[in-house]
Amino acid sequence: MTKVLSVASECVPLMKTGGLADVVGALPAALAGQGVEMRVLVPGYPKVMAALGKAKAVMTWDDLFGGPASLRAGKLGDGVLYTLDAPHLFDREGGPYNDATGADWPDNPQRFAALSLAGARVAAEGIKGWSPDVIHCHDWQAGLAPLYLREKGAGDRVASVITIHNIAFQGMAPGDMVGTLGLPPGEFTQDGYEFWGDISALKAGLVYADKITTVSPTYAAEIMTPDYGVGMDGLLQARQADVVGILNGIDGEAWSPPFTKPSGKAKHRAALRREFDLPDWDGPVCVVVSRLTEQKGLDLLLMALPALLDNGGQLVLLGTGEPGLEAAYRDFAAQHPGVAVTIGYDEDLAHRMIVGGDAILVPSRFEPCGLTQLYGLHHGTLPVVALTGGLADTVINASPAGLAAGAATGIQFNPVTAQALAQALMKLVNLYHDQPTWTQMMKNAMAAPVDWGHSAAKYAALYAGMVKAG
């Protein structure tokens, strides 16, 4: 049995801002059948502490970056959850990273250094006879853990791996915080955790972890290039032998379709159109469940939408993000009866949209893995995706070859421009009107392997190969 401590800033069902939380929440159960015991460590945000209840402290600090703290043990499903109870760092209103105005918490460097340090201490000392073989660090928020682990003298006993969920977020802190964060001054160099005069928590993870994973094979290759590496491409090229791309999966039970055949979608599609009072047009109902950002290509979709609407297609969008895009989509919906927009996030509505939609649009400029296209595939809601990252790895394009082989599960477009997206939307409408082909694509999509089975086996093999003697 390989023992793994997973350290992350969010985890479903306790705290979620994106796909990271889904992955962290799903992995322990997925790995249980692979000979891996995974325990999860997350910050003690108010919602997390409320869900945990009166849990017993199993580790304490008199002063953890400005105040007393404790580690409390509880349950996550059938597994163990550790929560870092540090009220001075985490007991506050707002999001996990931002205040109510959307500004970063000014003490984020200390907050997530504390999470990393707690993870390193658990890995180095163990808790009540349980000592991990591997510490699995997720994104920059846990990026300092491998360095702290080394500083505690445990790097030769406990292996470390960091997963890059999105390399664009790097956990920067001013260089004069080296002492504040308890980092070794001698490592504040170009070959260490220094990045253009600042501290980079993500870079620390990439330098000091034994292995590096990303959430899709294509993204692993992309981030070794200047276009996608966000300044870390050279480091990743130097460590390419230690970089592994493992696709994310989805929780098949939480996202179980209410039908097993393509024909079962019809009543849910009709219900979705009624819910949003969409006119009785004859084209596909497309859905978007996304953050409204340029990274997600939602500015391109605004420009390409006429190609969908003019050909009888419709759009239902759920999301929140950049104020300019939120306003633009509200205005667009007000002027076009075939478009319905909900600003915000509602998990139940997201489910209804993916169940009832004919297609799901994911026009991201870059996408490490993406989960919404996987939800779409599972429900026969055919993805229209940019040819990048995990979108390239999970959707089989309706190219002449893909259609001739009877294997297509969606539409990919490239380059990532409004014009290419418009062409993809017109192709979508044409395929929708070819019902035998469309039905076959739905069957293919619903049969696609999107759960954690295959990927969990890859993680288990990775961990097993990392275990250190002694």
Can you read off the two tokens belonging to residue 467? 């275990």
Cβ atoms 61, 70 nearer than 8 A:
yes
Phi, psi for 189 (deg, rounded to 5): -140, 175
- 16 annotated to a ligand binding site: yes
In 3D, which of 38, 48, 44 has the Cα closest to residue 59? 44
Cβ atoms 349, 322 nearer than 8 A:
no
- Parallel, antiparallel, or unpaired for β 198-200 and 159-164? unpaired
Distance spanning both ends of the chain, measured CA to CA: 16
- Parallel, antiparallel, or unpaired for β 211-214 and 159-164? parallel
Residue ranges of the alpha helices (H) in 138-289? 145-151, 201-208, 217-222, 226-229, 233-238, 265-275
Residue 103: which residues within 8 A CB-CB, separation 6 or more?
none
3-state secondary structure of 81: strand
Q: What residues are designated binding site for ADP-alpha-D-glucose?
A: 16
Q: What residues are designated binding site?
A: 16
